[in-house]
Copies of this chain bind each other. A is one copy, B any other.
């Protein structure tokens, strides 16, 4: 993700000119504003703007005239209470706007989260850059044999080399032809909206993505999870780091109740109570399927 000198200059200019505001300010987030944090080989996450802080959550929950409470401890207790009891609307009162650069196949997964605002760089209007995601060898994983949508072991050296070679070569060829088709030297030049269809899905796109904190937490719970595909998880993890500095109390509650929390079914809860009462329960007497039982045993550790 090497930024151009112009881009670096624009970011530095944006960071060089603090201005006065009467709005709620998150000092933790001000440190991150506009900076380009690299993700994958050419991707990035940048915070463009934010609205609100931990106090704004408390303030909205109380529909108050002033700011949050006088004591951070009270704010934390209330925020934890709201999170624990699924009061989602106060968390919707914080908003964040991010600039994300990401491979198209990741973007296609990302956009399924509908409750957000998006402006994507248009390949109908503009020409995409020659930037493709090529995985690190450590991420070149085999198909999982137990989970249709998962990864198994890392590919061995020779197979990995063949794969990387194909990915690199096909990307290069596709982009060369993209440029050939667009070229207006000695020919008319194909419309951009058509030429783009030749590009593979590991090409990078970028967008502005704006979302409220409640929906961001929902995104992070699903995408920073172990079961999420690695290539979107690294974005989610980078965003977790930023959100933690923005709204530390809300993020703490989110970590405890959502990220680190588990959901038990009625059947699982019944088994748990029997076990706590001293009974020995196995899968057959649990009423749970084998898959559910295995997942339940993982939860119990």
Please give the residue numbers on chain A whose beta carbons come within 8 Å of chain B beta carbons, in ascending order.
3, 6-7, 10-11, 13-15, 17-25, 30, 33-34, 48-52, 56, 59-61, 63-67, 77, 80-81, 84, 86, 89-90, 92-93, 95, 97, 99, 103-105, 107-108, 111-112, 114-115, 117-122, 124-126, 133, 135, 139-144, 148-153, 155-156, 159, 162-163, 166-167, 170-171, 173-174, 177, 180-182, 184, 187-194, 196-202, 206-208, 210, 212, 222, 229, 255-257, 259-269, 272-273, 275-276, 289, 291-292, 295, 299-301
Say whether A11 contacts B177, CB under 8 Å. no
A15-B22, A21-B30, A194-B135 in contact; A208/B65 too (CB < 8 A)? no
Nearest chain B residue, comparing its CB with the CB of A151? B191
Q: What CA separation (Å) do A254 and B115 show in the bound complex?
A: 23
Task: Tell which of A65, A103, A105, A171 has the most Cβ of chain B within 10 Å.
Answer: A65
Say whether A197 contacts B198, CB under 8 Å. no
Interface of A is mostly: mixed
Instruction: Please give, as numbers and ranges, the residues of chain B lying within 8 Å of A112 by CB-CB distance.
Output: 89, 111, 118
Instruction: Please give, as numbers and ranges, the residues of chain B lying within 8 Å of A184 by CB-CB distance.
Output: 143
Q: What CA separation (Å) do A255 and B139 show in the bound complex?
A: 39
Say whether A63 contacts B121, CB under 8 Å. yes
Q: What CA separation (Å) do A260 and B266 show in the bound complex?
A: 5
Say whether B189 contacts A143, CB under 8 Å. yes
Q: What CA separation (Å) do A155 and B264 show in the bound complex?
A: 37
Q: What CA separation (Å) do A51 and B67 show in the bound complex?
A: 18
Protomer copies: 4
Say whether B49 contacts A52, CB under 8 Å. yes
- Least distance between A262 CB and chain B CB atoms (Å): 5
Say whether A207 contacts B269, CB under 8 Å. no
Say whether B25 contacts A20, CB under 8 Å. yes
Q: What CA separation (Å) do A16 and B23 show in the bound complex?
A: 11
Instruction: Please give, as numbers and ranges, the residues of chain B lying within 8 Å of A148 by CB-CB distance.
Output: 125-126, 192
Instruction: Please give, as numbers and ranges, the residues of chain B lying within 8 Å of A15 by CB-CB distance.
Output: 22
Q: What CA separation (Å) do A280 and B84 show in the bound complex?
A: 25
A81-B291, A121-B63, A199-B201 in contact; A151/B193 too (CB < 8 A)? yes
Q: What CA separation (Å) do A276 and B120 show in the bound complex?
A: 42
Nearest chain B residue, comparing its CB with the CB of A63? B121
Q: What CA separation (Å) do A81 and B133 show in the bound complex?
A: 32
Say whether B18 contacts A22, CB under 8 Å. yes
Q: What CA separation (Å) do A117 and B213 show in the bound complex?
A: 11
Q: List 17 A-B contacts (CB under 8 A).
A: A49-B52, A52-B97, A60-B119, A63-B120, A63-B207, A105-B197, A108-B108, A141-B190, A142-B189, A143-B182, A151-B194, A152-B188, A159-B190, A170-B177, A200-B200, A262-B269, A269-B299
